[in-house]
Chains A and B, each alone.
Chain A
Amino acid sequence: MTVRDVAKLLEAEVLSGEDKLDIEVKHGGAADMMSDILALCGPNQLVLTGYIHPQVIRTALVTELLGLVFVRCKNIPPETIKMARQHNILMLQTRLFMFSSCGILYAAGLRGVDER
């Protein structure tokens, strides 16, 4: 599916990386700890997270993720969004919870990073 499909399925808002909407995405993960993202996720993957601190953007950068989906629509700090835009990292935001977000994307064909 494309990033645009992901955004549609999760009724998500695109906060950064609008130019990436047509990119094809095959694998995704969900994590709140930076070390988990670093260890388990990699290039061209989408990571769902509830962790909104700007540090997550740097983690995405180091890991070369395609982008991040922030679940449960918390108050994302402006620094996080600013940093994502600065480095052109895709950033989506959905009001759905983690569990439902993962389930919806999986049902639609997105696979886990462990299923590569």
Chain B
Amino acid sequence: MSDRNDLSKYAGLFEDIRAADIMTANVTVIPPEKKISHAKEMMNIKRISGLPVVDETRHLIGIVTVEDIIHALEFNRLGEPIRNMMTRDVITVGVNDRLTDIVSKFQAYRFGRFPVVDADNVLRGIISRKDILNGVLEKFNLIYVHDQKRISTLNSEFSFITGERLTVGDAEFHYNIDTTDIGSAGVGAVMLKTFLADKRYPAEIIRRIGVAVYEAETNVIIHSRGTGDIYCFLQGDLIMVRVVDNGIGIEDMDMAMKEGYSTAPDYVRELGFGAGMGIPNIKRFVDKLVILSEKNVGTQVEMILYLPIEASAPATPGTLTKN
């Protein structure tokens, strides 16, 4: 496991990744003449911690950060124009900067994100830790599949995949998949459903997890030729499930993602599986899906479902038992 997550050994692969390849081009910006209170509002709504300030020609002239807002609050200056409070010496990344340089910038400054500018200091995008992660995953065919809700914090997201914070020993639920018994496909999914129902998670969430885990569990049994496990982590506002095996891996991830693609042998069709709809189904039923796979090392399917706001509110008695 830890071997598989050691990204450094792949460093050479990433040399040609440039900021422009992985940045988010669609940036929320703000003009300097707007009030600080306006910036505060925008950051709140968009859930961002830094807002680039640009002039009419989109030249970057500053950035408003959470610290600036706190400062303004403290001195009662929310009504002043952003120009007066913004940070002027912005640390930026150039569109052509290499991944390694970008990573060292993140290490050196500990900011959550950097504006990306071209040679004329015109804002072209923004880059966060998460963008780096996605860029890296794409590069070595470990597919970052989709992300319907970009609401969780960057740090915890980063650790889901690197395994930094989520060690399997901390899983609240564990099921060892019996790959020798085809008839057991789905037993783990049903057990997980029961486990979550006991903890009073919302029925709809449980149903979606059930379907997704059933598909992933079945894949381990019919495709992996290895052994596998299901882990579930409960994290307050989200449920994370990891289905992992040490089998042959997914040869062609792009194809595996497509509806109708299957390498399943005939006997698998007798099980009613092998229609090539498994991974597309998983994608359909979860909020977020990350599939990592390496040939002859294994496959790891990580899925996240966000709880509806009411259910995750800590003040609501009886809706959720955490840990």
Contact with A along B38-68 (1 / 0, CB 8 A): 0000000000000000000000000000000
Which residues of chain A from 13 to 48 have any CB-CB distance to chain B below 8 Å in the complex? 32-36, 38-39, 42-43
Pairwise interchain contact B185-A58, C-beta atoms closer than 8 A: yes
Q: How far is the CB of A81 from chain B (nearest CB, A)?
A: 15
Given contacts A53-B271, A62-B211, contact A35 B277 (CB under 8 A): yes
Given contacts A33-B277, A35-B215, A55-B185, contact A62 B270 (CB under 8 A): no
* 13 pairs from A and B in contact (CB 8 Å cutoff): A33-B273, A35-B273, A35-B277, A38-B211, A39-B277, A43-B207, A51-B272, A53-B270, A55-B185, A55-B273, A58-B190, A59-B186, A61-B186
- Partner of A34 from B187, B203, B271 at Cβ < 8 Å: B271
The count of chain A contact residues (Cβ–Cβ below 8 Å) is: 20
**A63 beta carbon closer than 8 Å to chain B:** yes
Q: How large is the interface on B (under 10, 10 to 19, 20 to 34, 35 or more residues)?
A: 20 to 34
**B289 beta carbon closer than 8 Å to chain A:** no
Pairwise interchain contact B207-A42, C-beta atoms closer than 8 A: yes
Instruction: Enumerate chain B interface residues (CB-CB to A < 8 A).
Output: 183, 185-187, 189-190, 193, 203, 207, 210-211, 214-215, 218, 270-273, 275, 277-278, 281, 284
Pairwise interchain contact B183-A61, C-beta atoms closer than 8 A: no
B277 neighbours in A (Cβ, 8 Å): 33, 35-36, 39
Q: How far is the CA of A61 from the CA of B188 in the complex (A)?
A: 12
Pairwise interchain contact B284-A39, C-beta atoms closer than 8 A: yes
**A92 beta carbon closer than 8 Å to chain B:** no
Pairwise interchain contact A53-B272, C-beta atoms closer than 8 A: yes
A112 neighbours in B (Cβ, 8 Å): none
B272 neighbours in A (Cβ, 8 Å): 32-34, 51, 53, 55-56, 59
B214 neighbours in A (Cβ, 8 Å): 38, 58-59, 62
Q: Among the interface residues A38, A51, A54, A55, which one has the most CB atoms of the partner chain B within 10 A? A: A38
Which applies to chain A's interface (DSSP): helix, strand, loop or mixed?
helix
Given contacts A38-B281, A54-B183, A62-B211, contact A33 B275 (CB under 8 A): yes
B193 neighbours in A (Cβ, 8 Å): 62
Known: A53-B272, A61-B190. 16 other contacts (CB 8 A): A33-B275, A34-B273, A35-B273, A35-B277, A38-B215, A38-B281, A39-B281, A54-B183, A55-B186, A55-B271, A55-B273, A58-B186, A58-B187, A58-B190, A62-B193, A64-B210
Q: How far is the CA of A54 from the CA of B284 in the complex (A)?
A: 25
Q: How far is the CA of A53 from the CA of B215 in the complex (A)?
A: 17
A33 neighbours in B (Cβ, 8 Å): 272-273, 275, 277
